[in-house]
Amino acid sequence: MSAPTASPDWRGVAAEDIDDVRGDVGIVLRDRSRRLLGSLLRPHRKALLAVLAIVLVENAARLAIPYLVKEGIDKGIPPMVDGQGSRILVGIVVVVGIVVVVQAITRLLFLILAGRIGQRLLLELRRRLFRHFQSLSPAFHDRYTSGRVISRSTSDVDAIEEMMDTGFDGLITAVLTLVGTAVMLLVLDLRLGLVALLAFPFLIWLTAWFRTASAVAYRRTRVTVAAVIVHFVESMTGIKAVQGFRREPRNEEIFAEVSDDYREANERAFRLVGLFMPGIKLIGNVTIALVLFYGAYRVFDGHITIGVLAAFLIYLRQFFEPMQEISQFYNTFQSASAALEKLSGVLEERPDVPEPPHPVAMATARGAVDLDDVRFSYVPDRPVLPGLDLSIPAGQTVALVGTTGAGKTTIAKLVSRFYDPDHGRVTLDGVDLRDLADDTLRRHVVMVTQENFLFAGSVADNIRFGRPDASDEQVREAAQAIGADTFIEALPAGYDTQVESRGGRLSAGQRQLVAFARAFLADPAVLILDEATSSLDVPSERLVQRALRTILSERTAIIIAHRLSTVEIADRVLVLEHGEVVEDGSPADLIAGHGRYAGLHDAWVESLA
């Protein structure tokens, strides 16, 4: 039924994607990643040295075994054949036994120590990321979006974890085995060793090819799987609209498309591995055949013993086996290094609103707010506030009125220090906000917005979020004060009702009431309400307004609202236009006049009719 005549490019033109790692900045990024890695590893310097020593011993032990087998065959067996007893052989076997024990102990130590360093590092990385994201300004979060923050802190960390889990150990072993075996082979027999080492250039060439080819293929799988995930999550979270608009067939078409892209990308990557693995096997088997061939002649001519040939065969097997793990390592390594690049980038993001080095103490606040010649712009050269002077005495309730883009919300965000002004200063009781510790500021200034996020937990927990030490009684009082108690008590478990993820059980209006109660319980000196009543029905809004009159009487408040009914409770109304105050006065005075506010008010009264 859905014959889509719409453009086949259903995704349209993408907006800029900050995630893209472009070629020309590659080196800088790698540098940045290295710095991050260095800072994470530095505390473990000693442990790392110990691990290095242990791994060297372990590999030496591992490499000694085939050599000892050779000694056994060449030196231990002939005396026995000649009937001279087994003393030498037993001696060699005892040495092998000791070496095996050494290998076991060092291996165990290595795995545990390396695991401990890795896990410590991950914990540190997780903590650092969490603290860092929490310290970045809301402006950053607006830009970066929650989805990216979450994927940085989860899947990117997981990618690094996976590399430590599987890849790292394999790589170290592979490299050490590679080098160690080469040396042993040359020592055992130079000529045969050289024949065996003929495999090296091929191995290096094959690995180099695989590395470049798989980097491309691997990136492609990442891109395509992201498309699958985005489409999937979006259509599942938006299933109401999907079903309501009969979108299922077209969605299935699109999903089949992205799903097939992903399959194709995967298939390409699988085939590369499918070439690489048998390639290694081929090189290995040909080398073994050549060694066998040439070795047989050497034995035949008496240049080497059968023991040496046996040792060669065991060594070569040991040599090529770990090579197979390298392909595994590349995959995890690539995703881990991509993750590291992104993480290091994010961790170098400096907070736009830094903590003061020497914060001013402020135990209590009266709530006088002043803006002195404040200039601010989100985009350079497009000032939202061209130079605002505003003085709000303690205890005053001010309503900001104006069209979209007049700068109302910007003022609210500057007073709650979600941003710092480009010029001028914002003060609380005469102290520049930049000199207050974040905790101090937040205790005195609280903002309630349209966005009323609730955390998983009970309704009471969510109200108490504003003041963790509040008693149950105080929580109830706060809810009563703004008229939220009626609906809360009607919930299945009253105040103990779990709000479920993101408050899904409550309607938008109910969430807003809980958010209000939360703010009132916090009892700040300055309260900012940005469109905080927009989702309420008229009776609830009226209740809130009635409550506001008493609650706001002894504190400073800044109110932003489209609905003039909310504005009416203010002591003072500021009409803003292009970041400047064009009208300033009490609501009654302004209504009596002929300015913009009087006009807005008339239009509103008419709409009520």
Nearer to another protein, 76 or 421 (CB): 76
User: Is residue 240 at the binding interface for another protein, with CB under 8 A as the rule?
Assistant: yes
Residues 277-336 that bind another protein (CB under 8 A): 277-279, 281-282, 284-286, 288-290, 292-293, 296-297, 299-300, 306, 309-310, 313-314, 317, 321
Encoded amino acid at 260, one letter: D
Of the ranges 21-29, 222-230, 333-341, 362-370, which one interacts with another protein (CB under 8 A)? 222-230
DSSP, collapsed to helix, strand or coil, labels residue 515 as helix
Min. distance of Cβ 421 from another protein in angstroms? Answer: 18
Min. distance of Cβ 226 from another protein in angstroms? Answer: 9
Token pair for 127: 């903590």
Nearer to another protein, 28 or 296 (CB): 296
Min. distance of Cβ 536 from another protein in angstroms? Answer: 7
Min. distance of Cβ 376 from another protein in angstroms? Answer: 19
User: Is residue 153 at the binding interface for another protein, with CB under 8 A as the rule?
Assistant: yes
Nearer to another protein, 162 or 584 (CB): 162
DSSP, collapsed to helix, strand or coil, labels residue 63 as helix
Nearer to another protein, 321 or 584 (CB): 321
Of the ranges 40-48, 185-193, 201-209, 539-547, which one interacts with another protein (CB under 8 A)? 539-547
Q: CB–CB of 499/459 below 8 Å?
A: yes
Q: Of 561, 560, 580, 465, which is closest to residue 520 (Cα–Cα)?
A: 465
User: Binding residue for another protein (CB under 8 A) from 18, 34, 216, 267?
Assistant: 267
Residues 115-144 that bind another protein (CB under 8 A): 115-116, 118-120, 122-123, 126-127, 130-131, 133-135, 138, 141-142
User: Binding residue for another protein (CB under 8 A) from 170, 393, 424, 509?
Assistant: 509
- In angstroms, the CA 210 to CA 281 distance is 14
Q: Of 419, 439, 541, which is closest to residue 484 (Cα–Cα)?
A: 541
User: Binding residue for another protein (CB under 8 A) from 182, 435, 535, 577?
Assistant: 535
- In angstroms, the CA 542 to CA 554 distance is 20
User: Is residue 585 at the binding interface for another protein, with CB under 8 A as the rule?
Assistant: no
Min. distance of Cβ 494 from another protein in angstroms? Answer: 15
User: Binding residue for another protein (CB under 8 A) from 183, 187, 243, 553?
Assistant: 243
Token pair for 180: 């160690």
Question: Site for another protein (CB under 8 A): how many residues?
Answer: 175
User: Binding residue for another protein (CB under 8 A) from 27, 81, 361, 363?
Assistant: 81
Task: Write out the H or E segment, with its range, that includes residue 503.
Answer: none
User: Binding residue for another protein (CB under 8 A) from 43, 97, 593, 599?
Assistant: 97
H helix intervals, 26-167: 26-41, 45-71, 77-81, 87-135, 138-144, 146-151, 157-162
Distances (CA, A) of 358 to 275, 352, 368, 434, 585: 62, 17, 22, 10, 38
Residues 402-431 that bind another protein (CB under 8 A): 403-404, 416, 418
Residues 156-185 that bind another protein (CB under 8 A): 158
The full DSSP string for 318-385 is HHHHHHHHHHHHHHHHHHHHHHHHHHHHHHTPPPSSPPPSSPBP-SS----EEEEEEEEESSTT-EEE
Nearer to another protein, 372 or 577 (CB): 577
CB atoms within 10 A of CB 123: 10
User: Binding residue for another protein (CB under 8 A) from 47, 60, 225, 394?
Assistant: 225
Burial class (CB in 10 A: 0-12, 13-18, 19+), 295: buried
Q: CB–CB of 461/503 below 8 Å?
A: no
User: Is residue 459 at the binding interface for another protein, with CB under 8 A as the rule?
Assistant: no
User: Binding residue for another protein (CB under 8 A) from 190, 246, 373, 493?
Assistant: 246
Binding mask 436-455 for another protein (x = CB under 8 A): --xx-xxx--xxxxxx-x-x
Q: CB–CB of 278/182 below 8 Å?
A: no
Min. distance of Cβ 37 from another protein in angstroms? Answer: 19
Binding mask 1-40 for another protein (x = CB under 8 A): xxxxxxx-xxxxxxx-------------------------
Min. distance of Cβ 31 from another protein in angstroms? Answer: 27
Nearer to another protein, 34 or 246 (CB): 246
CB atoms within 10 A of CB 423: 14
User: Is residue 361 at the binding interface for another protein, with CB under 8 A as the rule?
Assistant: no
Min. distance of Cβ 161 from another protein in angstroms? Answer: 8
User: Binding residue for another protein (CB under 8 A) from 47, 56, 77, 197?
Assistant: 77
End-to-end CA distance of the chain: 46
User: Binding residue for another protein (CB under 8 A) from 230, 303, 493, 599?
Assistant: 230
Nearer to another protein, 372 or 523 (CB): 523
Q: Of 362, 452, 371, which is closest to residue 412 (Cα–Cα)?
A: 371
- In angstroms, the CA 210 to CA 31 distance is 24
CB atoms within 10 A of CB 292: 13
CB atoms within 10 A of CB 242: 16
Min. distance of Cβ 122 from another protein in angstroms? Answer: 7
Q: CB–CB of 606/430 below 8 Å?
A: no
- In angstroms, the CA 481 to CA 527 distance is 15
Min. distance of Cβ 206 from another protein in angstroms? Answer: 12
Residues 56-75 that bind another protein (CB under 8 A): 65, 69, 72-73
User: Binding residue for another protein (CB under 8 A) from 52, 256, 348, 373?
Assistant: 256
User: Is residue 87 at the binding interface for another protein, with CB under 8 A as the rule?
Assistant: no
Distances (CA, A) of 84 to 75, 81, 260, 404, 497: 12, 8, 71, 103, 87
CB atoms within 10 A of CB 368: 18
Min. distance of Cβ 45 from another protein in angstroms? Answer: 20
DSSP, collapsed to helix, strand or coil, labels residue 421 as coil
User: Is residue 271 at the binding interface for another protein, with CB under 8 A as the rule?
Assistant: yes
Residue whose pair of structure tokens reads 């008010």 in the numeric block: 601
Residues 554-583 that bind another protein (CB under 8 A): 562, 565, 568
User: Binding residue for another protein (CB under 8 A) from 31, 248, 472, 554?
Assistant: 248
Task: Write out the H or E segment, with its range, that includes residue 472.
Answer: helix 472-481
Min. distance of Cβ 307 from another protein in angstroms? Answer: 9
